Amino acid sequence: MNIAYFLLPKSSVAYLYDDCTFRQGLEKMRYHGYTAIPVISREGKYIGTVSEGDFLWRLLAEDQADLPTCSMKDMERLQVRDILRGNNYPPVRITVTMEELLHSAMNQNFIPVVDDLGNFTGIVTRKDIIRYFAEQKDAEQTPPLRKIV
């Protein structure tokens, strides 16, 4: 099965640029109600995924001597790329199998999809992957129709 069928294209996905400010990132996540959101470069390359936890860990960082009040105005000096803590949402290519996609979905709410050059093309949601496998199981359990003569 081609995962392009399940792909939510970049134009339909909320994402952040890596040079967005801390405040812009939080506001976009709040507006959309997401707990994690893809981060891309201005050139369209997938950089990683930032989560609510990344923002929280940055607020609680011990090296906050230069930002003692932690007001949102102060946070405008930070960029999203400064708070990314590793890539917990590794991307896949469009040629990935559904089984590999399922394996990724066990650890992520969505799977970022990139092209051969690493450009972000969209996401596949866990919900769509579960729906696909549930439909496959239902199709296997449905008894074949008998021909009535």
Position 26 in a domain: yes
As a whole number, mean pLDDT of residues 123-140 equals 86
Q: Structural domain of residue 21, as residue ranges?
A: 3-141
Position 30 in a domain: yes
Position 149 in a domain: no
pLDDT of residue 16: 97
Contacts (Cβ under 8 Å, ≥6 apart) of 14: 28, 32, 34, 37
| Pairing status of strand 120-125 against strand 110-114 | antiparallel
Structure tokens at 14: 């909320």
Taking phi first (over 0 means left), then psi (-120 to 50 degrees means alpha), and beta for anything else, what does residue 127 get?
Answer: alpha
- Percentage of residues of the chain with pLDDT beyond 90: 50
Contact 105, 97 (CB under 8 A): no
Predicted TM-score (pTM) of the model is: 0.81
CA 54, distance to chain mean position in Å, is 14
Position 146 in a domain: no
pLDDT of residue 13: 95
**pLDDT per residue as tens digits for the range 16-59:** 999 999 999 999 999 999 999 999 999 999 999 999 999 888 88
Amino acid type, 144: P
Residue 113, domain CATH: 3.10.580.10
Q: Which long-range contacts (CB under 8 A, 24 or more apart) does 138-146 make?
A: none
Position 147 in a domain: no
Structure tokens at 54: 């990344």
Domains in the chain, number: 1
pLDDT of residue 3: 82
Amino acid type, 21: T
